[in-house]
């Protein structure tokens, strides 16, 4: 096949990029970069939690790949983007559960307590904070992050089944959360409803609780676009 024919093939499929994510933040980042794509739901129903058996960035990349692969049979001739973000807290000096007596949340939920006890198991690589299931776990995640610096790892994958392309990248951003009072945590949860966000917060939320960050803002938002763009360029997708 001559080079011009290959270029024409890429142009034909350029608009057939599938984003295997329902995240509005990832969609917005791709739109900001003028990348045309079709949103689709990945098929991983119960996303695994980070257990510390591998490096955090490896976990994020692997899950990003698995999300993309979960719909590759539906779109075998398309380029599929998968992504995953995890929040890892290494400073565990204030990792205990905290239920203030004035809490407006239903802290008596046995399911919530059991879930959070499991979440609070520590590994040598730190504590991973996933998406909170309810207000109790959201409060405790934010309480542990309060006044501390943590790492946000985002993995992104690009696959194409028919072309046998399976590649991934990652980035890391250090984020410090402001020292928050119980009332400020309550207010943030009420206003921002961060139940679809790893670590129970979004760096982009109007009710800003982030004191500072080092690294990529977009990575902390949910897509390591600076590392991902070279991969898109490699296959002439942008």
- Point out the residues that are catalytic: 84
Q: Six-digit token pair at 135?
A: 């207000």
Cβ(60)–Cβ(85) below 8 Å: yes
The CA–CA distances, whole Å, from 33 to 26, 36, 225 equal: 11, 9, 9
Handedness of CA 87, 165, 19, 204 (dihedral sign): positive
Q: Six-digit token pair at 60?
A: 């994020």
Distance CA 134, CA 132 (A): 6
∠214-225-231 over CA atoms, to 5°? 130
Closest CA to 208 of 174, 173, 180, 171: 180
């Amino acid at each position: 096949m001559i080079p011009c024919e290959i270029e024409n093939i890429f142009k034909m499929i350029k608009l057939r990029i599938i984003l295997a994510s329902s995240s509005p933040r990832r969609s917005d980042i791709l739109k900001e970069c003028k990348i045309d794509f079709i949103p689709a739901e990945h098929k991983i129903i119960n996303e695994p939690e980070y257990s510390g058996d591998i490096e955090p960035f490896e976990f994020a990349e692997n899950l990003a790949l698995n999300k993309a692969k979960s719909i590759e049979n539906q779109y075998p001739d398309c380029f599929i983007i998968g992504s995953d973000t995890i929040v890892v807290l290494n400073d565990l000096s204030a990792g205990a559960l905290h239920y203030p007596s004035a809490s407006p949340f239903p802290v008596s939920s046995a399911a919530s307590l059991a879930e959070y006890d499991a979440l609070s198991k520590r590994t040598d690589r730190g504590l991973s904070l996933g998406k909170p299931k309810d207000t109790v776990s959201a409060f405790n995640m934010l309480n542990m992050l309060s006044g501390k610096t943590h790492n946000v790892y985002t993995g992104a994958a690009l696959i194409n089944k028919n072309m046998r392309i399976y590649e991934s990248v990652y980035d890391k951003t250090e984020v410090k959360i402001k020292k928050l009072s119980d009332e400020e945590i309550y207010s943030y949860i009420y206003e921002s409803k961060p139940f679809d966000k790893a670590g129970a917060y979004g760096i982009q939320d109007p009710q800003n609780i982030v004191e500072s960050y080092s690294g990529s803002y977009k990575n902390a938002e949910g897509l390591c676009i600076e590392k991902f763009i070279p991969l898109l360029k490699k296959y002439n997708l942008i």
